[in-house]
Amino acid sequence: MATYLDRILEVHRGAAAADVRPLEELLRCALGQPPARGFRAALERSAADGSLAVIAEIKRRSPSKGALNTELDPVAMAARYEAGGAAALSVLTDEEFFGGSASDLVRARRAVDVPVLRKDFTVSVRDICDARIMGADAVLLIAAALQPGELRDLHGCAIEIGLDVLVEVHDEAELAVAESAGASLIGVNQRDLVTFKVDHERARRMAGVIPESAVRVAESGVRDAQDAIRLRDAGYHAVLVGESVVTAADPASAIRALTGGN
């Protein structure tokens, strides 16, 4: 029986196999983009005083929850997130499963000064180039979606063209693969990508085995300030939050609560 992840990867790998755009031209275009804003550096600055950096996500829907905010305006939402103190944004660009687009990322980034992560199921070098060309400052690589060699090669390519890389893991085995690929920005996703269920203790269990030198990000299932405090106290520098802020009546206030602001 196919899982959520199987179906999503089948679509993305199929698209990658059909993509015949000249790779050398894409790489030249990616290398010619203006300097990125520094995603990792923004998280480090925000967390320097012991507070928690928030990566606020622009997301219309998800396979597990269905519609979240289908009428979302990425420009208005990005501005609200920045006003609330978000250190960075995450923008879903997957269209079929999450209702996102490259246009969402372009428009959101133009509306703010904070760096932006392209959140998608990245499976090829062309995906990496596209992220840089559309203006992303960082790209997500999911250890569960890639072979170790793929993760290493895509990580290296992203760094070479000027992107920061958030490598997402779920357990110790995936963390070891991320470390061997050179990851220094590591996210622990509390959502199981096979069942899409959330384990609220996963990040706390994993916190102790992530290298001290890494910037640590807890992803998914962050519901409120209490969750954020527990994750900060466990050793995380940042949280990536989607559902609870994208559906909030006042997204700026929701983010201030997560950061500990008023």
CA separation, residue 63 to residues 15, 55, 68, 96, 189 (Å) = 19, 21, 11, 10, 16
Cite the active site residues: 57, 59, 119, 168, 189, 219-220
Return d(Cα 63, Cα 44) in angstroms, integer: 31
Angle at 56 between CA 209 and CA 80, to 5 degrees: 155
Selection from 233, 231, 235, 222 nearest residue 90 by Cα? 222
Distance of alpha carbon 202 from the chain centroid: 17
Residue 134: DSSP 8-state: T
For 113, the token pair is 């000064």
Count of all residues that appear for the chain in the document: 262
Which tokens go with 103? 């246009």
| Separation of alpha carbons 181 and 122, rounded Å | 15
* 50 φψ region: left (φ > 0), alpha (ψ -120 to 50), beta (else): left
Q: How far apart are CA 170 and CA 191, in angstroms?
A: 8
The residues facing 20 across adjacent strands are none
Alpha helices in 147-242 (DSSP H): 148-160, 172-180, 202-207, 225-234
For the CA atoms of 82, 86, 87, 91, the dihedral, rounded to the nearest 10 degrees, stands at: -80
